[in-house]
Amino acid sequence: MAVTILIPTALRQFTQNFSEVEIEALSVEEALKKLKGLYPDLEKHIFADDNTLRNFVNVYVNEDDIRQKDGIKTAVKNGDTIMLIPSIAGGTHGIL
């Protein structure tokens, strides 16, 4: 089953500047493992040392946050889109 993983701009430098990658997988976990196999430099930006998703990486299947589903074990089907959305810190200086 082919799913498309959308790569955010901040991580494209680790995927040869691809904005999306098609992967055969049955779950988010399988898709991300295959993705990091294709692009090993991407791994440290998605996974922590204990091989769990980093806290600041949000993952969606289609429009559903996987935290509201089965987490990394969330099933995917042919044609689904997995979106990686890193949280970006920021704010305004001097305004309270």
Cα-based distances in Å from 31 to 90, 92, 93, 95: 30, 36, 39, 42
Task: Give the whole-angstrom CA distance, residue 69 versus residue 49.
Answer: 24
The tokens for 44 are: 């440290």
CA distance 31 to 24: 7
- Angstrom CA distances, 21 to 17, 55, 65, stand at 10, 22, 19
21-64 pLDDT, tens digit per residue, is 999 999 999 999 999 999 999 999 999 889 888 888 999 999 99
Model pTM score: 0.86
pLDDT tens readout for residues 46-58? 998 898 888 889 9
Q: Which CATH class is domain 2-86?
A: alpha beta
Residue spans of the domains in the chain: they are 2-86
